[in-house]
Structure 1
Amino acid sequence: MSISIEQSAFAGLDTQKRLLNQVFKGELSAQGRFGFRGELAIKFATAVADEARPPELLAQQVISSAEPGAKKISFFSCYLLSFGYLDPLVTALSEYLEPSGKYFIYCNNIDFSKRYHLEYKGIPFYILPLDEATVYNELLELFGLERNDLKKLDTAGKINRIAENALQYSAVFPEISYADCLAGMGPVRDPGENRPV
């Protein structure tokens, strides 16, 4: 019997209408692991009259999963334009993250030669740089997954394979404090600049 999002750790986020532009939202495995791939609204824009406005802050390229019956999201990865968005992201996800989870945050404005491990509000994060690549491709590289091996899988199968590897990931990166990472981040680059129109 397949499970619905209401039975997963994503239920609250779905109710809050934070799960946007979904590429995938559903069961990942026969065991009942649930996954989401798309975008997550971190901070909503103030609504004017009945006008629906795009979120002020967005976590892009989200790939995430929750274990069967779990109340928390065990694996979450995304792209943030700025490391400074981590605090509102953690606030938005506060009910859904756990100290044993694996959370990978790719940021546009941290040093490209650096990777960090950071604990913030009791939650561990891997903080990694990202410019032109995608979170999906970076995760494959980080976990040593061959793209050809994933080609035969459907979207659920691909996300499930990434989730399995994420949950087992245990590489050690240099520890950094939130304050030090914030102090060291660069300016937020315009994602549209230098792109052909």
Structure 2
Amino acid sequence: MRDVMNQVNIWLFLLFCLVYNCAALFAWNRPRVKVIENTSNKLLFHLRHFPAWVVGVSFSGVGLIGLVGSIRMAEFASLCINGFFVFLSLLIMAISPLITCRFDKERDRMTIKRQSWFSKKILKHSINDILNVKLEHSSTDKASFYRVTFTLSSSKNVPLTRSYSSDFEEEQYIANLIKNFLNLNM
């Protein structure tokens, strides 16, 4: 009976790997930026951190498959470890923010809202205070990372996101989208 359970767990794990790899491929190839409105007076877009969701789903899948096997085998230690994977996945997804960026020329307002399951932070600045939109660069020995940053007239730099991204083209797209809307020299 134990051999049958092990084979079932192996098949469940292989099925999960197949589904997860398809989902990960979809998520990595899906743009993080979704433009909701782009008119002469308003720009609104959402930005989601998909890699965190991919990691969260992977931990969740591993944990759930393990939980099913643990419950069937009634192994307490395995149940605790796999429960931890499920908890960790939910935590990763909970802290991954959805960023909403709104520009309104009529009200002279830039609003950046960073919202996760547990927190919400709203930054507001005058559009007329934005002097430049640039890519901030950070690198290690093995990789380069980027994020969009606003330079304000007060010499303060306001990043669009708290974290950096390795996707240069997408960050450049966001910076150009904002620069075009604000009619800033490129």
**TM-score greater than 0.5 by the shorter chain:** no
Higher helix share: 2
Higher relative contact order (Cα pairs below 8 Å, separated by 6+ residues): 1
| TM-score normalised by the chain length of structure 2 | 0.27
| TM-score normalised by the chain length of structure 1 | 0.26
- Rg larger in 1 or in 2? 2
